[in-house]
Every structure is written in C-alpha cells, then in structure tokens.
Structure 1
Amino acid sequence: MKKILIIFFLALLNCYSTEAETAFDPTSPTVLITGSNRGLGLEFSRQYAAAGW
C-alpha cells in the first residue's frame, strides 16, 4: 500500500512540475513586489495586476 501511495504522489508531482514549466514565459516582463499586503506595495500590486502583469 505504501508503494502505491508513493508512486501516486510522485506521479502527481510530475504533473504539476510539467504544467508549471510550460506556463512560464521567460521573455515576459517580471516584477517582484515585497510588502504587498498594505501601503505602496499593495497599490503597486493592484496597478500591475490591472495592467496584465
């Protein structure tokens, strides 16, 4: 039973990692905003999200 669960878990991880790699576009612009839960960081996050970043 443990072997089956381990195999299932590894297969599940493999599905998610492949999906994330294909969704990432290295040519698109990237922004890192820290402190985005309030103040200027929150406003920057909202503005970038509205602009499609």
Structure 2
Amino acid sequence: MLVENWMSKTVVTVGQNESLLDAMRLLEQKAVSMLPVLEGEEVVGIVT
C-alpha cells in the first residue's frame, strides 16, 4: 500500500504569524487534528 492512498489531498495549513486562537478555531472548523505551520511555502512546524 502506498502513502498516496492514505494521504489527504487538500491540506489545511496555518501561517506562523497567525494567533493560536485562530489556529484552534481552524482545527475545530475543519475537523482536523493537526495543522502544518507555514513560513511562505515552507513547512516550519505542526500545531496539534
């Protein structure tokens, strides 16, 4: 089995300069358990 069969095609992300409250709201609204944190187009962390 390949990763592509299990991965999400649409990824919800948050910018590193967004507030934690906004990130928490996004987690709830999108019903996801983690948000990749971006600086420009580069992933620099993950909020869980």
Instruction: With the length of structure 2 as denominator, give the TM-score of the two structures.
Output: 0.35
Point out the structure with the larger helix share: 1
Point out the structure with the larger strand share: 2
Taking CA–CA contacts closer than 8 Å with sequence separation of 6 or more, which of the two structures ends up with the larger relative contact order? Answer: 2
Instruction: With the length of structure 1 as denominator, give the TM-score of the two structures.
Output: 0.33
Q: Tell me which structure has the larger Cα radius of gyration.
A: 1
